[in-house]
Amino acid sequence: MQNYLYFNRKKIFTISFLSFILVFFSYQLSGEKINLIDDYTILKLDVSDGLNSNRVNSVFQSKDGYIWLYNDNGFTKFDGVKFVFFNKINNKIPVLEFESLNKEINKKKVLFKKLKKKIVRDYKIKNIDILSILEDNKKIWIGTKGDGLYILNLDLSNTLDNISFPIIENDYINDIMKDSEGNIWLATSSNGLIRIKNKYIQSNESSPIIENVIMNNINISNLDNPVINETGFLEFHFTGLHFSAPDKLRFRYKLEGYDSKWKFIQPGFNRLKIYINLEPGKYLFLLQTGISKFKWSKAIAKYNFSIKNHKLNYYIVFIIFILLSITLFYIFIKIKRKKTKNIINKDKHKKYQTSGLNDEFANTILKKLLSFMENGTPYLEPSLNLKKLSEILQIQYNHLSQIINEKLNQNSNDFINKYRVEEAKKMLIKDKDISVLDIAYECGFYSKSVFNTAFKKFTGLTPSQFRKNS
């Protein structure tokens, strides 16, 4: 009897083992869907969790660690705990960040076209309506239009497995993304956002983020190493990213220049630190996250700032006082010079009060003088002066001096030299080979120093500078 029972047990075991082998290989060779659900944990996030819609067109992770979603309504930011929605009306996203998000979506579209063309060409996958693709080490994740999620195993003779998660079996998988912790995220048409986490891949890494820095109700987050003029309430608002265990996230912070040791915030407590009336100096706020009090993130969020020393204001006021005094002194000198000039002009008028020259005669002589100077080149003669001009025009010396002074507001030397300088300007431009000294002599000047002085008086430049600039 015992032998019989032993034989039957052995027979049953053998038959069961062979049946298992037969079923296993039949299953592998049948090409049916492989259920790998036991290797993964699935997290579904939809409108009941704060999403504005169960339709998600695209999903990607920004450099600061946030998960961003996009659909026809706008962008949504996910920090592992809550969703923040942005649309055209309620658009709080900075312009540059908004542009970078749109670039990311366009970049994903271009990459998808390239990958689809590649896997259809290289792996002959033609019987699947492909909506999204993700290259992941030696795997290619393929999202389909109502036919679930496929994995193309490149290290197993390019086998194509269909993962039959019931939640996505008949849905459209619009986009696939892998985050910094190794999780796979699916953007679906009717089931919102789905996270697929491999049970055998554990990640304890988290990312600290300083969201806002507010000084006396003014947001200074976007300022690079600001210098704060006044002390008061300084607030640091922060958060952290950890998609596996966001409820266990804890923080430690330290303000270098004020805190001697790290301070801690336990999970569930307010993620805020306020400092009041800090002393003048340089400060550095440091922030780390972790889900264990013994292990903290490698990443450290930092914010540099300085508080101005108000004692310096006294020095600034003193300097301003000195500059203001100098300015007032300069204005005083200018006014005094102007008054002196007016007195000189009055003296000129007094000087000619006894002159018998009338205005009509003066205008006639002025026309004659200008015609003589402009229709010929008498000024090229170095010996030309007021006396010679009065002899040529047959007018009294004093009358000619008065006409030049009153009608042209010049003295006789400036009147003649102005014509000479105009002639010199033409020669400096036209005759590059002639020296400056030769041009001075040609134009009626008897020395280079007199020429330079007169030229600079009328042009603001020396002859050499004028030639160089022309």
Which pLDDT value is given to residue 295?
78
Q: Residue type for 1, please?
A: M
pLDDT of residue 419: 93
pLDDT at 268: 85
* Domain layout of the chain by residue ranges: 31-198, 207-310, 352-469
Which residue numbers in the chain have pLDDT < 70? 1-40, 88-97, 126, 156-158, 160-167, 198-205, 243-244, 293-294, 310-314, 341-356
Dihedrals φ, ψ of 409, to 5°? 55, 40
What's the pLDDT score for residue 23?
Answer: 40
Measured distance CA(239)–CA(241) in Å, rounded:
7
- Per-residue model confidence (pLDDT) at position 238: 93
284 DSSP β-pair partners: 256, 304
Alpha-carbon torsion angle 164, 169, 172, 173, nearest 10: -20
Cβ proximity of 286 and 314 under 8 Å = no
Query: Quick one: 207-310 is in which CATH superfamily?
Result: Immunoglobulins (2.60.40.10)
Helix 412-430 × helix 386-393 angle, to 10°:
100
If one counts every other C-beta atom within 10 angstroms of the C-beta of residue 412, the result is 19
The model's pLDDT over 299-348, given as tens digits with 9 standing for 90+, comes to: 899 999 998 876 656 677 788 888 998 999 989 888 888 777 666 555 55
**CATH homologous superfamily of 352-469:** Homeodomain-like (1.10.10.60)
Give CA–CA dist 8/212, Å, rounded: 74
